Structures are given as structure tokens and as C-alpha cells.
Amino acid sequence: MGRARLDRRPPQTAPTPGGFRGALLLVERATKETLWDCRMCGQCILHSTGLSCPMRCPKSLRNGPCGGVLQDGSCEVVPEMRCVWVEAWEGSRRLPLWRHHMEHVERPTDWRLQETSSWENLLTRRDHHVPDGWVRAKRRA
Amino acid sequence: MTEPRSGLHRLLLAGEFVVTAELETTDSADPASVTVPAEGLRGKVDAVNCTDNSSAHTHIAPMATAHLLLDSGVEPVMQFACRDRNRLALQADLLGAAALGVRNVLLMTGDDVSTGDHPEAKPIYDIDSIHLLRIARIMRDEGRYLSGRPLTQAPSFLVGAVENPFAPPLEFRPMRLGKKVEAGAEFIQTQICFNLEKMRLFMARCGDLGLLDHVWLLAGVFVPRSGRAARYLRDQVPGIDVPDAVIDRMDAGSPEAQRRAGIDIALEVLDAVRQIPGVSGVHLMAIRNEDAILTVVEEAGLLPRPSGVRQPVA
């Protein structure tokens, strides 16, 4: 599949996907929300975060826990909840693959992709859009 | 040979054991609320942190504090939290701070609004601290914004980050520090250290990962004023590990005895972290106890400071 042109409209203003795209979105949402409480960021890194969805973090952190994790491992914002990143760390140790992904520097979130299908974005490479400055810095690092 | 980007950088490059302190933030429009305490710290510490709506409570803008510090002849470490600004505003402020003469920046995620005085506010968190670290390095080293658009003149600052070796998941914390170093952190100020065992384990693991050759680490040392202050830290500030032994010692005796106990505890922590390989300095913090910071610096034998005579950095 070729590189699709990036739709710059946020999903709220773009037409609701129909047909195959609509079905894909429906299936992804149904399975991932049930299994992992997925938040449909449209740029999935679940396999890199021990199958703990980082968008459940109230601070939307995609690179690890903040410094406010309580001593018992619960979230500072929602104390009833275990820190998403404590679960990510434990989950990553149980995974046979991708454990070292916890050490990867993840790129900034593309908020245009909210509520879109990460599967579609993967296939169309829409989720490969990285700001030019980031690409340059990564090349140097 | 690396050219120093700031006075703090020069001292770190020279292998000095550096001392930074946190300036008590102000809710006053009077510039003297910054310059008077700054006078007290001048020459006693190497750089002074200006916090960014600390504990998610609204205070004076760190950009203004940093500017007033520079006017007072004190080198600022300007803090940037991702809580209140998106990537456009953060980059605008990084560039603006550099134009005002700020040469040390400290980039962090920030406490959540739910713990502050405006819990109903919309938290931003467009990017996280690791993204912001790399963005600061893109601006400095590539001379561009994150978008790739070129800057007319790139900023020059020493890029700092924070880490909390005392909060779960403890095994991941050194790796997270590694991510920050990879993203561009050149110095680290840690969360408040009371638990020396955790600190030693963290530093040993950072050493194993080979991080300590690439980053200067300043241990956070708090000077509690009273048993109440120590309890406040433990119960109200998320992510701080205050052992019961500290609370017990702080609870004993008169207010004056408690104040002295706080200074003694800070001195003990300071002496202990100084012995840990890889610790390049300390960052001193207090709440309504700023005089005690000066007492600690003096009694720890850290005076006179090599930065006492301020040299301008190009």
C-alpha cells in the first residue's frame, strides 16, 4: 500500500469513516477497549509498554512514569488506580518480545490521530509522521 | 574541550561539587519579593531554581523570576513544566528565556492540577518531559523548532531534567534516567532524598548502565522546619519517600529543637550523598525555611562558593 496523503483534519471534523475503514475502526475499538482499556490514540505502542495503554495515564505520558507515583504504586491523580507505568513495567517483564522497548524514546503524540484506527494508520503509514526537527535530532543521537 | 554554557556548567566541567537551591516562590507583584531573598542566596549557592507553578499552585511566572534573579546577579535554573503549556508555548518560552540570558533550564512533566489550587483546570500535557528535553536540544543543537523551521539564532543553555529514584517502579527509574540522557539531559536534579538506601541502589544501577559518564547528578536535599512540614511532605506531596525515622526525629521537642533537627537531618543526608560515586552536587529545598538553607551550606563546609565571583557567560 502506498503512502496515503495525511488528512490534516482532526477526526472530530473529518467525515466518519464508512465501509471497510468504518468496520476496521469498529473492530479495533471493540477488541482493544475490552482487552486493554484502549483510548484509541491512533498511534498504538501497546506492545512497547507491556500491554498497558499509556493513554490511560492522566498525564498522557508515553515515555514512562512521572515522579508522583505513590509509594504503594498507585497513581497520584487517581489514587484508586495503579500507575499505568507500574503496570507497564511489570507487563513488559512478562512479555517474551519487545521488553527493551521500554527503553525507547517515543516520539511526541500526534493529537490529530485521536479516535482513528491505529491499524489503518499503520497500514497507510499515517502514524509515521514525525516532525522534521525530531527526525534530525534522532539522526544525530 | 567543551565551552561552558553557564556558570553552573563551568563548575560541573571543572569537577566542583555544586550547590543549587530552590527560591521560595512568590505571590507578589513586588519585584522585591524575588530580589530580597535572591540577595540572601547570592554567593552562597551556585545557581537558584525558579519553579514553574510548583505543586500545581499558581505563582509568579518563572520567566519573570529568572529575569529578576539575573538582575540581582544570581544565576537562574529556570523550570519548565509540561502541565500548563503545549509545544508551541514551551518552545516560545525556551527561546524567550534564552534571549533574557537564562542559561540553565530544567524540564519536567509537572505535578497534576488535581493536587493544586485550581483542580478544575484543564491539564495540558501535550508532550512529556522526555519530548521537551529533545525539543530543547533540537532548538539548541539543530537551530530549529520541533517542526523543523529554522531559528534565526539558536539558544545556548545547559539542559537539565529531574528524576525520582524513590518512587515506583524502582527498577525502571534508572532506565528512565537513561531515556532522559538519550533525549538530551545534561544534568539531573533528583526528588528530595531521605531514603539513602534507595539512592545508593539507584546510583549503582545508573553506573551499571553507563549513565554517570554522560550526566551530572545533583541530589535533592530538603531542610524540614518542623514535624508538621515533614508530615506534609509525606502525606501531601506525591512521590516523596519520608521514612518514619525522619518523622519521629522531627516530632521531638520544641519548635526550635525541631528546626535544629531539620538542619541536622539535611546535613546528614548531604554528607551521605556526597560519598556516593556519581553525585556531582546537591539541590537544596525548603518550605518557609530559607534561612536554614544558608545554615546547611555553611555548616556543611561548602563555603566559600567557587562561583562567588560571577563571570558573565557569552
pLDDT 10s digits, A87-111: 999 999 999 889 999 999 999 999 9
Q: Which residue has the higher pLDDT, A115 or B118?
A: B118
pLDDT of residue A10: 67
Query: What does the pLDDT look like over B62-71, one tens digit per residue?
Result: 999 999 999 9
Please report the number of interchain residue pairs, chain A to chain B, with beta-carbon separation below 8 angstroms.
Answer: 136
Q: What is the pLDDT of residue A138?
A: 84
Q: Residue A1 pLDDT > 60, yes or no?
A: no
Report the 10 Å Cβ neighbour count for B14. Answer: 10
Establish if A91 touches chain B: CB-CB under 8 angstroms. Answer: no
A37 and A78 assigned to the same domain: no
Which pLDDT value is given to residue A128? 83
Q: Is residue A32 part of a domain?
A: yes
> Does residue A140 sit at the B interface (CB-CB below 8 Å)?
yes
Question: Is this complex's ipTM strictly greater than 0.85?
Answer: yes
A100 with A136, same domain: the answer is no
- According to the model, what pLDDT value does residue B130 have? 98
DSSP strand pairing (B18-22 vs B104-108): unpaired
CB atoms within 10 A of CB B94: 24
CB contact under 8 A, B169 and A65: yes
Residue A139 pLDDT exceeds 50: yes
CB pair distance less than 8 Å for A132 and B148: yes
Judgement on whether residues A63 and A74 belong to the same structural domain of the protein: yes
Phi then psi dihedrals of residue B292, to 5 deg? -65, -30
Question: For the segment A71-88, what is each residue's pLDDT rounded down to a tens digit?
Answer: 999 999 999 999 999 999
Kindly give the parts of chain B with pLDDT less than 70: 1, 308-314
- Per CATH, the number for B7-299 is 3.20.20.220
Nearest to A86 among B109, B126, B168 (CB): B168
The minimum CA-CA distance between B101 and chain A, rounded to whole Å, is 24
Q: What pTM was estimated for this model as a whole?
A: 0.94
Assess whether A39 and A73 both reside in one domain.
Answer: no
Work out the minimum CA distance from B52 to partner chain A, whole angstroms. 16
- Give yes or no: residues A58 and A74 share one domain: yes
Report the percent of chain A where pLDDT is more than 70: 89
Give me the pLDDT at residue A7, please. 64
**Domain chopping of chain B, boundaries:** 7-299
Residue numbers of the domain that contains A34: 17-43+113-141
Q: How far is B261 from chain A (nearest CA, A)?
A: 25
Number of structural domains in chain A = 2
Q: Has residue A72 been placed in a domain?
A: yes
Question: Rounded to whole angstroms, how far apart are CA atoms A37 and A40?
Answer: 9
What per-residue confidence (pLDDT) applies to A126? 84
